[in-house]
Amino acid sequence: MSYSKIRLYGAGGHSQIIKSILIHNGISVTDVFDDDPALSHPNFDNIIISSRKRANGFPHKGDPFIIAIGDNKQRYEVSKFLKSEYSKAIHGSAIIDSSVKIGQGTVVYAGAAIQPNTTIGNHVIINTLASVDHDNIIEDFVHISPNATLCGLVEIGEGTHVGAGAVIIPEIKVGKWCVIGAGAVIIRDVPDYSIVVGNPGRVIKMKTGF
């Protein structure tokens, strides 16, 4: 379903890019909510102060939302708070095969390419000039950073952040809530909660959770 009006949750730098995509697509941003407007991007004004601790008073009903927050954990937490419909934001310059499946709340930035038979979950970020090849599976709350390259038959687990310029060779499975460092080259499977850096990528730390 397409919408003509969308609300944003989050008013940082990531949010202004999503707002730009929506305006480019002829979609109005009606309201912008943030838990701490004092930390918002200077290009935003009239931000509505929100608090996840006051869920009962929040206007959940209305225009659909996009959670405009770059941090995967924060996007996950807001999604558990919001009882609203979600929309997508896809830049017109992105190249997306007709067979690709894209979940709700997901955003695709300028110049990204997503190849056939790829499935992308909910609340995912495919950032500027990212390349996602054929038959990938990208689970919910993932962030694929600018210029990252995912070759064919790659799987990325929930909440994982693939850093700028990272490369993941074909048929690799990256677990959930991992961090793949900028420029890393991943040539073997990565277990859940790993922090990986370097070429070839090596696990330098295991997180205790997301």
Q: Which residues are catalytic?
A: 134
Can you tell me the distance from the alpha carbon of 128 to that of 65, in angstroms, rounded to the nearest whole number?
21
Half-sphere exposure at residue 4, Cβ-oriented, CA atoms within 13 angstroms: 0
Neighbours of 43 (CB within 10 A): 11
Query: DSSP label at 110?
Result: T
At 80 the three-state DSSP class reads: helix
- Picking from 168, 164, 193, 158, the residue whose alpha carbon sits closest to that of residue 179 is 193
Type of residue found at 9:
Y
How, if at all, do strands 194-197 and 202-206 pair?
A: antiparallel
Can you tell me the distance from the alpha carbon of 6 to that of 98, in angstroms, rounded to the nearest whole number?
24
Write out the DSSP string of 13-53: HHHHHHHHHHHHTT-EEEEEEES-GGGS-TT--SPEE--GG
